[in-house]
Amino acid sequence: MKKKGKILITGASGCVGQYTSAWLLKNSQDDLLLWLRDPEKLTAIPKKHPRIKLIVGDLRDPEKHSFELQAVTRVIHTATAWGDPKRAYEVNVLAIKKLLDHLNKDLLEQIIYFSTASILNKNLEPLPEAISYGTEYIQTKAECLNQLEKHPLAEKIIAVFPTLVFGGSVYENSIFPTSYLTKGLLEACNWLWLARWLRIDASFHFIHAADIAFICGYLATNNHEPNNQPGQGAVRRIVLGQPAISINQAVKILCRWRGVKRTLGLPLWGWLIKALIKILPIQISSWDRFSIKQRHFVHEPITNPESFGAPSHASTLEAILKSSNLPDF
């Protein structure tokens, strides 16, 4: 166990940011420096706790907070941006480099940097297609990882790559923010009448934000070690997820949860999907086309709380649905 320090958490008002801050507040003695844009969104963390200090502002302006940043010993960088290409590049690529420039290199022990599993292949190697076909979010995450591998602080960086993230409640009545995927569960249930007829050869990993919080908390409260993972660069890569599940399994579980009868299915072969895209008025991006071709977004190894000898908050899809307060039949 490391000595007490000061942990900076960016994107602190987000779903993962609040789960992680709450874990550290409960399970460590570290002071927490929470960087966010709107303090009113901080619903799971007591703003006036003696171990908490807020930095309110844009991540692109670290100069305004140089004094506070000089005392930071560890960083958990969850902040991100998407939608607007210009802002995505400024936040996802430039801002992290500016932030690292304002930290005290002599005090800094570790940086936990959040990326996305979409930019890695099954062996945790960068996907060339992430740069070629990715959305502005995926492209900037891929570019940032490439630059961090060459950064002078690379040996202090752990890059975590969450898979599909669930968290909060479908009714948004939890103290924690609701993740985008959890928000979509009710809408997904409205399409079970159609999904129950289809079969798709595809698979994915998922993870709950509470389990991400445990992993980040564990890493941030133990001594940092340089990366010794074979086949990786100076930056350690960790894909956060539970064992892979197929889409067919996921639909089956959702149907059972909601009391929808499953039927004999129509296989959606790759050629059939491509034909439907041409026939129907569907617009898809180059990344969508790559994803349809890829289908199986699985990784080895994956990391979850069991990797550190602890039980997961939600290790199965059923546990995810229960934690999300999704009504069953």
pLDDT in tens, 145-202: 999 999 999 999 999 999 999 999 999 899 999 999 999 999 999 999 989 998 988 9
With bands split at pLDDT 50, 70 and 90, how would you rate the model's confidence at 280? Answer: low
- Poorest-pLDDT segment among 68-72, 80-84, 114-118: 80-84
Is the distance from CB of 142 to CB of 97 less than 8 angstroms? no
At 23-53, the pLDDT tens digits run 999 999 999 999 999 999 999 999 999 999 9
* Residue 211 to residue 230: CA distance in whole angstroms: 25
**The domain defined by 6-168+205-242+298-309 carries CATH number 3.40.50.720:** yes
Q: Which residues make beta-bridge pairs with 120?
A: 126
Q: Domain-by-domain residue ranges, the chain?
A: 6-168+205-242+298-309
- Alpha carbon of residue 318 to chain centroid: 20
pLDDT at 232 over 90: no
In terms of pTM, does the model score above 0.85? yes
Chain mean pLDDT for the chain: 92
Q: How many CB atoms lie within 10 A of CB 155?
A: 15
Q: DSSP letters along 70-124, please?
A: TT-SEEEE-----SSHHHHHIIIIIHHHHHHHTS-TTT--EEEEE--GGGB-TTS
H helical segments located in the chain: 15-27, 66-69, 85-89, 95-101, 128-133, 136-149, 180-183, 185-189, 192-195, 209-220, 247-258, 270-279, 286-294, 317-323
Percent of the chain with pLDDT over 70: 95
Summarize pLDDT for 1-20 with one digit per residue, the tens. Answer: 567 899 999 999 999 999 99
Q: Give the bridge partners for 112, in sequence order.
A: 76, 158
Residues facing 33 on adjacent strands: 8, 53
Dihedrals phi, psi of 265, to nearest 5 degrees = -100, 155
Give the number of other CB atoms < 10 A from CB of residue 292.
Answer: 15
What single-letter amino acid sits at 77? Answer: H
